[in-house]
Chains A and B, each alone.
Chain A
Amino acid sequence: MTDTTGRTLPAADPAAVARTAVRDAKDAGGGTSTRLGTWLTLPAQLLILFVAVFPLLMQLYLSFTDWTPLSGRNWTEAYTLWAGTWNYEDVFADDRFWGALGRTLLIVVVAVPVEFLLGLGLATLFMDEFPGKRVLYSIMLVPMMIVPAVAGYMFYLLFQSDGPINGLLSAISGQDVAIRWLTDPDLAIVAVMIADIWQWTPLMFLILLAGLLGVPQDQLKAATLLGAGPWQRFRTIVLPKIKTIIVIALAIRVIEIFKIFDTLFIMTAGGPGVATETISVFFYKIMTLELAWSYVAAAGLVVLVGLSVVAGVAMAFLPKPGKRA
């Protein structure tokens, strides 16, 4: 690494390094620099406390009450509307909640594998040299840079029943196509998945390409000379090398799609009916339309606990994502 300040720094002579080592050892014992470390981490700790830990406790409290912003009481007095575990009992009996959870998981299990396979295929093609590769690489990254709400609007326009997608299909098939992409309950969820695949396949591509570039080429050449086919090369050399990277890419997408809201909400607002109502849309609607805040507080905590359990189990079984690849 070069010194970008332009100043000349004294070369570290062995004696100096030894002295520093001694000083560092003293620091570790609780000197001024440890205190500096505490001060440096303080703002982040306070932010977490203020916007994560404290709110969670508050949410737990509200979830045992019947409080809403319309109850005319300060939230601190929510205990006067004590509801015990009613909210939680309601959550577990609420078909709409479980339906939303199911649809969210459906989007996850369809979109993530499609994004992964498309991304892997594209990344494999980018392992070769071809004219225009750099420009194409930049273009391929554009979808993930688009503001998700704007991407939602793009697909909202595309999927109008008299819109360009049906126009294209009409031109290709030679007959009038009028598919109700966004208003047919079965198709709306497909349209939403297509939008997500469009926007996030580039991320898979980007991550997987970085992984593939790290696979030693000489090993692949040697395997080819020894007569290994493409599939065999992939399975025995490439796959073990990029396994961690695949896990990271999949984990990121599963987490993010589970939260899906922006694109979907702009496209369908969860409709028609509840056909595309995911867990985030469900929370949003109950909060804004029914103002049942304490109920959402309870449902949110149920999701939080569920996700933590799943994440904990996944961490125990999968290779550690924190490990350097």
Chain B
Amino acid sequence: MTRSPAFHVFRTAALLLALIFVLIPVLWMVSMAFKPIQEWSATGDLLTWWPRDPTLDNFRYIFGERTSELIVALERTAGRPILASLLSSVVGTAIAMLAGTAAAYGLSRFGSGRNLPLALIQLRLFPPLAVMIPVMVMWAYLDLIDTWWGLSLVYGIVTLPFAFWLMKTYFDDMPREIEEAALVEGCSRFRVLTRVTLPMMRGPLASSALLVFILNWSDYLIALMLTTREWVTIPVYMASLSSSMTGQLYGAKAALGLIAAVPPVILGIAIQKHLVRGLTFGALKQ
């Protein structure tokens, strides 16, 4: 469609404005992550958008190296929280994908579990904190508080709706002829699922798993409630990372924030084709 020159100017200006709005918060934190301690709370003319004296000290500091006489060493380093985030997110994703894919196939092919679609949507409707009390009581009773496996179990159920709905739409879209052909050849229903259907679904399975992983990795609230010390995840650790002893650890927190932010951004861009379907519970396909 032909557009007037005025429209081109307007469009460029609008897109530029959007770009600046999107990048400003990211830019500031990234720059903070590379600023030495002297620049953390610089004001006035010394407040710069780029570190004047870039350094990796912040990253070294959160992994336990003493980098400056100005701040005391951390009592607990970032290694363990990173491990906690990884373990709970990966295992949570595995739980959600296994239960979700199996249930989606059961519903899509055999019409089993007709209560699941609505039940799982309802699960997303409620604020987690409104239903957190009994989970915490149960977890305390089962000794699951402050463990990565206890956390991953909750992650598994919280992201189950996404895994289930995504895989259901993919199974619904898949042509039945291939499965039917394998059945005719004498495969059992279960073998058809494991040998024909799932290998064909490798792409959708991978992108769904990545989306579920991003959602688990992004959690703060649930980990805040269910972990206390040994297995706190990155966001919980990050929020706790300032004390009366050390003061505001702006740069160290920014470095940690950067570490937490990078994986989902890369994965998210990698699966951007599947995002619309994933985040609308399969209601929309791009």
Set B43, B188, B221, B280: member contacting A207, Cβ < 8 A: B280
Q: Does any Cβ of A come within 8 Å of B74's Cβ?
A: no
Assess whether A19 is in contact with B184, with CB atoms less than 8 Å apart: yes
B182-217: which have CB < 8 Å to A?
Answer: 182-185, 188-190, 196, 199-200, 202-203, 214, 217
Assess whether A252 is in contact with B279, with CB atoms less than 8 Å apart: yes
Q: Which residues of A contact B87 (CB under 8 A)?
A: none
Q: Which residues of A contact B225 (CB under 8 A)?
A: 284
Assess whether A16 is in contact with B184, with CB atoms less than 8 Å apart: yes
Assess whether B269 is in contact with A125, with CB atoms less than 8 Å apart: no
- The tally of CB-CB contacts under 8 A between chains A and B is 326
Bound-complex Cα distance A211 to B111 (A):
30
B31-78: which have CB < 8 Å to A?
Answer: 32, 41, 43-44, 47, 49
Bound-complex Cα distance A324 to B282 (A):
9
Bound-complex Cα distance A154 to B275 (A):
24
Count, chain B residues at interface, CB 8 A: 112
Q: Does any Cβ of B come within 8 Å of A55's Cβ?
A: yes
B251 to chain A, nearest CB (A): 10
Q: Interface residues, chain B, CB within 8 Å of chain A?
A: 1, 3, 11, 14-15, 18-19, 21-26, 28-29, 32, 41, 43-44, 47, 49, 95, 98-100, 102-103, 105-107, 109-113, 116-117, 119-120, 122-135, 137-138, 140-141, 153-154, 156-157, 160, 164, 174-175, 177-178, 180-185, 188-190, 196, 199-200, 202-203, 214, 217-218, 220-221, 224-225, 234-235, 238-239, 250, 253-254, 257, 260-261, 264-265, 267-269, 272, 275-276, 279-280, 283-286
Q: Of A55, A56, A74, A325, which is in contact with the most chain B CB atoms at under 10 Å from its CB?
A: A55
Main secondary structure of the interface of B (DSSP, over half): helix
Q: Which residues of A contact B214 (CB under 8 A)?
A: 145
B24 to chain A, nearest CB (A): 7
Bound-complex Cα distance A179 to B173 (A):
54
Please list the 7 inter-chain residue pairs (A to B) with the smallest Cβ-Cβ separation, ordered nearest first: A37-B110, A37-B112, A40-B106, A41-B113, A300-B130, A55-B134, A145-B268
